[in-house]
């Protein structure tokens, strides 16, 4: 079964450093997402991406965040200057076609980001 992959599985960084989290969505999927989950809290939407542009973003997704699809397979989340409160699990997700509301968002295994 096709799956979303994410690397690295765990990233440790110093406050103020830039990090890039990597995702490879399922190959025939057209819509891509980033979510985050702070330990003990709910999964929160960050951003959705379609046709090489952001289609929706949440309040969390401020100027410190950016997303990119640099080639036909990768989808990245960049945090420019990490803060302690950015420590969380970051999940990438993809869906084949958003026209059909029952289409499933498939989640990757996540990248645990620890900011020291």
Partner 1 sequence: RKEVEQDPGPFNVPEGATVAFNCTYSNSASQSFFWYRQDCRKEPKLLMSVYSSGNEDGRFTAQLNRASQYISLLIRDSKLSDSATYLCVVESNSGYALNFGKGTSLLVTP
Q: Which of residues 53-92 bind partner 1 (CB under 8 A)?
A: 55-56, 58, 89, 91
Give the tokens for residue 81. 């200057």
97 binds partner 1 (CB under 8 A): no
Shortest distance (Å) from residue 54 CB to partner 1 = 10
Shortest distance (Å) from residue 106 CB to partner 1 = 8
Give the tokens for residue 115. 């900011």
Q: Which is nearer to partner 1, 52 or 102 (CB)?
A: 102
Q: How far, in Å, are 93, 98, 101 from residue 6 at the CA level?
A: 10, 22, 25
Which of residues 45, 69, 76, 96 is near partner 1 by CB under 8 A? Answer: 45
For 32-88, the DSSP string reads EEEEEE-TTS-EEEEEEEETTEEEEE-TT--TTEEEE--SSS-EEEEESS--GGG-E
51 binds partner 1 (CB under 8 A): no
Which of residues 25, 26, 36, 48 is near partner 1 by CB under 8 A? Answer: 48
104 binds partner 1 (CB under 8 A): yes
């Amino acid at each position: 079964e096709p799956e979303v992959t994410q690397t690295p599985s765990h990233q440790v960084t110093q406050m103020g450093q830039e990090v890039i989290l990597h995702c490879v969505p399922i190959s025939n999927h057209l819509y891509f997402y980033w979510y985050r989950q702070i330990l003990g809290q709910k999964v929160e939407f960050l951003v959705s991406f379609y046709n090489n542009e952001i289609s929706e973003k949440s309040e969390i997704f401020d100027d410190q965040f950016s997303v990119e699809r640099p080639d036909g397979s990768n989808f990245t989340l960049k945090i420019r200057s990490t803060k302690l409160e950015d420590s969380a699990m970051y999940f990438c997700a993809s869906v084949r076609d958003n026209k059909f509301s029952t289409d499933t968002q498939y989640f990757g295994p996540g990248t645990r980001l620890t900011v020291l």
